[in-house]
Amino acid sequence: MNRRTKIVAVAAAVLLTLGAGGVAVASGGDGGHGTRPVREAAALTGTAKLYRPAGDDITFAFDAHLAAKDDKDPQAATGTFRFSHYKDGKGGYAVAKVDCLTTGGKVAVVTGVVTETDVDAFRNKRVGISVHDDGRHDRLGYSWVGRDTNLEVPPCLSSAPFEKVQAGTGDFKVLPWQLEYPTE
The answer to whether the CB of 158 falls within 8 A of the CB of 129 is: yes
CA distance 92 to 120: 10
Q: What is the pLDDT along the chain (184 residues), one digit of tens a residue?
A: 554 444 434 444 333 333 333 333 333 444 455 566 678 999 999 999 999 999 899 999 999 999 999 999 999 999 999 999 999 999 999 999 999 999 999 999 999 999 999 999 899 999 999 999 998 889 999 999 876 666 779 999 999 999 999 988 989 999 999 887 778 7
**13 phi/psi in degrees, rounded to 5:** -65, -40
72 burial type by CB count under 10 A (0-12 exposed, 13-18 middle, 19+ buried): exposed
SS3 153: coil
